[in-house]
Chains A and B, each alone.
Chain A
Amino acid sequence: MNSMDDSDVQVINVSRRAFLGAISAVGLVLVVGCSRRDTASADPPKYGADSMPHGWVDNPLAFVAIAADGTVTVVCHRSEMGQGVRTSLPMVVADELEADWRRVQVQQAPGDEQRFGNQDTDGSRSVRHFFAPMRRCGAAARTMLEQAAAAHWGVPSGEVTAVNHEVVHGPTNRRIGYGELAVAASHLKVPAGDTLRLKAPSQFRYIGKGEVRLVDGPDIVAGRGMYGIDTVLDDMLFAVVARPPVYGGKVGSYDAAAALKVPGVVKVVEIPGTPPPSEFQPLGGVAVIARNTWAAIQGRQALKITWQDGPNVVYDSKAYRATLEQAARTPGEVVRNQGDVPAAMARAARRIEAEYYIPHMAQTPMEPPAATARIVDGLCVIWTATQAPQATRDRVSKRLAMPSENVTVNVTLLGGGFGRKSKPDYVVEAALLSREMKGVPVKVTWTREDDVQHGYYHTVSVEHLEAGLDAAGKPVAWLHRSVAPSIRSIFGPDPRHEAPFERGMGLVNVPFGIANLRVENPAAEAHTRIGWYRSVSNIPHAFAIQSFVAELAAAAGRDPKDYLLELIGPAQRVDPRTMGDSWNYTESPERYPFDTGRLRRVIETVSREAGWGRKLPPGQGLGIAAHYSFVTYVAAVVQVAVSGKGELTIPRIDVALDCGPQVNPERVRTQIEGACVMGVSNALASEITFKAGRVEQSNFNDYQVARIDAAPREIRVHLIASDFDVPLGGVGEPGVPPIAPALCNAIFAATGKRIRQLPIRDQLAAHGSQPAANG
């Protein structure tokens, strides 16, 4: 998938070699020198793409090649994991380039942030951060083609225009194709970014239209899509690893005799572990290397290993929950405080209190982690599904003690990521094993059991909320204590508190006009690897807050939608820093204030579209929730039906989304549909628990995710239209957080049963069904 036919590619800067290879030979210094912001002038704070490692690159030499036959190749430097980025970003380049999409090919960049800018495909920011650079990239290439055509005809460049893969001389109506211009254009200087003429949105061919089909679709449906697990090389070997069942544990001793007798097993070798905090390095263990994956799995079963568990053997989810609850009932570090909460609570007409529990979860992308490594002549080549190509390159080079330029990371399609594949521990394993086998290619495959039991888990949390209501049922005081181990614990000494980026995910930045408001974050210790999971800390924060608001509405005898809107109050643009959020998804607080008007609008839109308040049969209900995350505004209405036996079905979910302008509305819709299903999985079924430091689940039998029969039968996505001068919001993640609370609010409407603990699993069966008033 990553290779191209060398013969017919004419790179815009003159080379007949394969495009990406050619650039490292001729274009690199230029690319870096002329495109990236000067990192030395560090004075003003950096936001958005500027704030990311290696920032952005908009140079067409890095991203665009045009062959003599006119074929345009656009490089995608972000990882494709189902969000459609290999379609959306090249489409942006093609649009500004005035390229005919049917003549555009997409090539995946290897890990190289010097050349391409930041590649960390996470945080819902690929299009948000690279829409503008990719537009400039396409416009610069278009300008070079126009200049080449003008020179060719000897006419002023103002008289020529690029139109649909050719340049036209208006006065004479002469035309010349991009393929014919490529060589001449390649000799020209790349125009400076501020001299470029970008299209007016009315001139867009593809951007905002949603008519471009997935570039990988035909390969995918034919079984030709190549994922990390699909790498095939001559003479390759296949490995699986037995890892310490407890985080921080290690191999005491092992006996490989039986494993080595399994036909096909070639070698058994110990991988040294990395004591916590183990960051992205392997957990260690015993690897079985074989002639095929099956033999490796059989060999691993035959290993006899004695583990030394280490201190995390105490980790027990039941006991830990009690620890979290205790912490949540005790004052802790204050992370936002306004007014006088204790005094207001004391004066309140009523006090309401609720506690919510959200468990660990595992990302379980359908493609489990897998990587192939080969080392030849001091050069290590990797093929893998990774969300973090540069981090992967850095970790491999560090672990192999090789200069980073000697490590190539080829990025395949990802069979899902959801945050798991931001952590390249599995790739380092492959590199170590290839080295162990004298450089022979080795593919490490994680079985599903490995994935479920040795992951980087979504945190576990207890969210404790208290509110004081006045006589009319309006909150006059709000106290929220959130207790959850932090992702930062994998990077250094356990901080035992949520990081600013975790608190900024809906904990401190609650958009409610409550005069007395206090948010605390008592300490919690991590006993396993905590990692990003699609939407991250927004999941527990939104679940607790949006459930609690509905509880308050019920206590006040009010409609939950009206109550939510009243709590948000009138439309205003709030500086996130005034809400204790200094992070703001790395975006500028001026460009990206918290706009409560936009939050109101998604709530109003979704309730109108979903027919909020409509009559439903007994046992059915509607629930609403809204949440701002990844600088995008989302509201959801979930319709549930609960049978007499407590069986739950979801006839319909409506979601309204305001992410600013939608570059590829079709893929925005699919991301929201997927987010609804993942939100339903989170709510209904998914839970990782620990006992004696070990994960108790192992595969999709006991770690459950939504299947088609449990999925919402119908999902309606309502996109808020927006001008292209509005800054872009994220799309991949913000759909998830409101789903679980909207679902539980719907269950309350249908049955009167309030869910405060996820997953719901059989909580409704225990309750039986006493249908309450309709939602």
Chain B
Amino acid sequence: MELDVNGQMRTFDAQPEMPLLWVLRDLLRMTGTKFGCGMALCGACTVHVDGQPVRSCITRVSTLAGKKVTTIEAMAEDSIGKRVQAAWLELGVPQCGYCQAGQIMSATSLIRQNPRPQDADIDKAMSGNICRCGTYPRIRAAIKRAADNAGSAG
């Protein structure tokens, strides 16, 4: 099987119904994408498929032929993603950090679609991402910070 992950064609042996999450983590050994629930309930496994946020734990790998998968490992090369990462560090968002890959993936696609997200937009886009450490207030602030920076940088 072949898959475009972060701009590289990767080859592996997998059952067609294997979720992308386990292809990434166990077969390709890219562990930045996290397992949190396996049922699209927590957002820890969020990746981008053709730029859209998806929950990789319920996305069968067989549905991804010809599509581009982008993971947290490539966010530093994404113009918005890297601003999100920088805002996360500036505002000291992470606690344990386990959910943050998924949070950053969701936040990046939110800002891409909506360069000036308001609180309600943030609630809507981010409520699928659980943070058990409770970093939500800082996530909210960091999204606004990253959006400002993305906007002012044109």
Q: Which residues from chain A sit less than 8 Å from chain B, CB to CB?
A: 80-84, 213-214, 216-218, 220-227, 229-230, 232, 238, 263-264, 292-295, 297, 364-368, 413-418, 445, 447-448, 666, 670-671, 673-678, 699-701, 705-709, 711-715
Bound CA span A678–B131, Å: 10
Contacting residues, chain A, for B94 (C-beta < 8 A) = 82, 214, 216-217, 220-221
Shortest CB distance B37–A (Å): 4
| Chain B residues positioned under 8 Å from A714 (CB to CB) | 137
Known: A230-B31, A232-B29, A263-B15. A708 touches B42 (CB 8 A): no
What is the CA–CA distance of A82 and B93 in the complex, to the nearest angstrom? 10
**A221 and B136 within 8 A (CB):** no
Contact of A214 among B36, B71, B92, B133 (CB under 8 A): B92
Flag if A223 contacts B72 (CB, 8 Å): yes
Q: Which residue of A lies closest to B102 (CB)?
A: A366
A214 to chain B, nearest CB (A): 6
Interface pair A223/B96, CB less than 8 Å apart: no
Residues of A with C-beta under 8 A to B27: 292
Contacts of B36 in A (CB 8 A): 366-368, 448
Instruction: Provide the residues of chain A in CB contact with B10, threshold 8 Å.
Output: none
- Cβ contacts under 8 Å, A294 to chain B: 15, 18-19, 22, 26
The answer to whether B136 and A677 have CB atoms under 8 Å apart is yes
Question: Are A708 and B126 in contact, CB atoms less than 8 angstroms apart?
Answer: yes
Question: A416–B22 contact, CB under 8 A?
Answer: no
Q: How far is the CA of A216 from the CA of B52 in the complex (A)?
A: 28
Q: List chain A residues, Cβ under 8 A from B18.
A: 292, 294
Q: Which A residues touch B97, using CB under 8 A?
A: 82, 216-217, 220-221, 225, 413, 415
5 nearest A-B residue pairs (beta carbon): A223-B32, A677-B134, A415-B98, A82-B96, A82-B95
Task: Answer whether A416 and B98 are a contact pair too, CB < 8 Å, given A222-B75, A294-B19.
Answer: yes
Known: A367-B34, A675-B134. A213 touches B22 (CB 8 A): no
Q: Which residues of A contact B50 (CB under 8 A)?
A: none
How far is B97's CA from A676's CA once the two chains are assembled, in angstroms?
A: 18
The docked-state distance in angstroms from the alpha carbon of A84 to that of B128 is 25
CB A82 to nearest CB in B, in angstroms, measures 3
On whether A366 and B42 interact (CB within 8 A), knowing A221-B104, A673-B137, the answer reads: yes
CA distance A674 to B42 in the complex (A): 17
The answer on a CB contact under 8 Å between B131 and A366 is yes
> Contacts A223-B33, A224-B32, A707-B127 known; A673 to B99 CB distance under 8 Å?
no
Give A367's nearest chain B residue, CB to CB.
Answer: B98
Chain B residue contacts of A673, Cβ below 8 A: 134-135, 137-138
Q: Nearest residue in B to A264 (C-beta to C-beta)?
A: B15
Name the residue on A nearest B141 (C-beta): A714
Closest-by-CB residue of B relative to A294 is B22
Partner among B26, B129, B132 whose Cβ is within 8 Å of the Cβ of A416: B132
Identify which of residues 24-66 in chain B touch chain A, using a CB-to-CB cut-off of 8 Å: 25-27, 29, 31-39, 41-42, 44
* Chain A residue contacts of B44, Cβ below 8 A: 366
- Is A213 touching B89 in the complex (CB atoms < 8 A)? yes
Please indicate the chain B residues that have their CB under 8 angstroms from the CB of A214 in the complex: 89, 92, 94
Q: How far is the CA of A732 from the CA of B81 in the complex (A)?
A: 31
Q: Can you list 11 A-B contacts (CB < 8 A)? A: A221-B88, A221-B104, A222-B85, A229-B34, A230-B25, A366-B98, A418-B132, A677-B136, A700-B130, A709-B123, A711-B136
9 additional contacts (CB under 8 A) given A229-B31, A365-B98, A707-B136: A221-B97, A223-B71, A223-B101, A230-B25, A364-B132, A365-B96, A366-B42, A705-B130, A711-B134
- Report the separation of the CA atoms of residues A709 and B131 in the bound assembly, to the nearest whole angstrom: 12
Distance, CA A99 to CA B72, complexed state (A): 33
Measured in the bound complex, the distance between the Cα atoms of B129 and A413 in whole Å is 20
- Which chain A residue lies CB-closest to B98? A415
Q: Is B76 an interface residue (CB 8 A)?
A: yes
Nearest to B30 among chain A residues (CB) is A223
Once A366-B130, A448-B39, A677-B134 are accepted as A-B contacts, the answer to whether A221 and B100 lie under 8 Å apart by CB is yes
In the assembled complex, which residues on chain A have CB atoms less than 8 Å from the CB atom of B32?
222-224
Is A415 a contact partner of B96 (Cβ separation < 8 A)?
Answer: yes
Q: Which residue of B lies closest to A679 (CB)?
A: B134
| Interface: B145 (CB within 8 A) | no
Given A225-B97, A448-B39, A699-B41, A365:B31 Cβ within 8 A: no
Interchain nearest-CB distance for B105 vs A (Å): 9
Tell me the smallest distance from the CB of B51 to a CB of chain A, in Å.
18
Is B69 positioned at the interface, with any CB of A under 8 Å from its CB? no
* From B76, B95, B100, contact of A83 by CB (8 A): B95
Complex contact A445–B35 (CB within 8 A): yes
Q: Which chain B residue shows the least CB distance to A418? A: B132
User: Taking CB as reference atom, which chain B residue is nearest A218?
Assistant: B89
Q: Is the CB of A447 within 8 A of B38?
A: yes
Q: A221, B85: Cβ atoms under 8 Å?
A: yes
Task: Write the chain A residue with the least CB distance to B143.
Answer: A708
Task: Assess whether B150 is interfacial by the CB under 8 Å rule.
Answer: no
A709 touches which one: B26, B38, B127 (CB < 8 A)? Answer: B127
Min CB gap A670→B, angstroms: 6
Name the residue of chain A whose CB is nearest to the CB of B32: A223
Give complex CA distance A476, B39 in Å. 54
Nearest chain A CB to B99's CB is how many angstroms away?
5
> Per a CB cutoff under 8 Å, which of A230, A263, A416, A707 touches B133?
A416
- Shortest distance in angstroms between B91's beta carbon and chain A's nearest beta carbon? 10
Give B25's nearest chain A residue, CB to CB: A293
In Å, the complex CA distance between A352 and B126 comes to: 44
A416 adjacent to B134 (CB under 8 Å): no
A230 closest partner in B (C-beta)? B31
B98 & A448 in contact (Cβ 8 Å cutoff): no
The distance from the CB of B150 to the nearest CB of chain A, in whole angstroms, is 16
CA gap between A238 and B27 in the complex, in Å: 11
**A447–B136 CA distance with the chains assembled, in angstroms:** 24
Residues of chain B with a CB closer than 8 A to A217's CB: 88-89, 92, 94, 97
Looking across the interface, which residue of chain A has its beta carbon closest to that of B36? A366
User: Cβ of A222 and Cβ of B72 under 8 Å apart?
Assistant: yes
* Minimum C-beta distance from A694 to chain B (A): 19
Q: Do residues A226 and B132 form an inter-chain contact, with CB atoms below 8 A? A: no
Provide the bound-state CA to CA distance between A238 and B21, in Å.
14
In the complex, the chain B residue whose C-beta lies closest to that of A229 is B35
Contacts of B130 in A (CB 8 A): 366, 700, 705, 707
Identity of the chain A residue whose Cβ is nearest the Cβ of B96 in the assembled complex: A82
Interfacial chain A residues near B101, Cβ < 8 Å: 220, 223
**Nearest Cβ distance between residue A460 and chain B, in whole angstroms?**
21
**A82-B95, A214-B92, A708-B129 known; A699+B135 contact, CB < 8 A:** no
Collect the chain B residues with CB atoms within 8 Å of residue A699's CB.
37-39, 41
User: Is B112 interfacial (CB 8 A cutoff)?
Assistant: no
A676 touches B134 (CB 8 A): yes
Complex: how many Å from CA A675 to CA B137? 12
Q: Which of A82, A216, A218 has the most B CB atoms < 10 Å from its CB?
A: A82
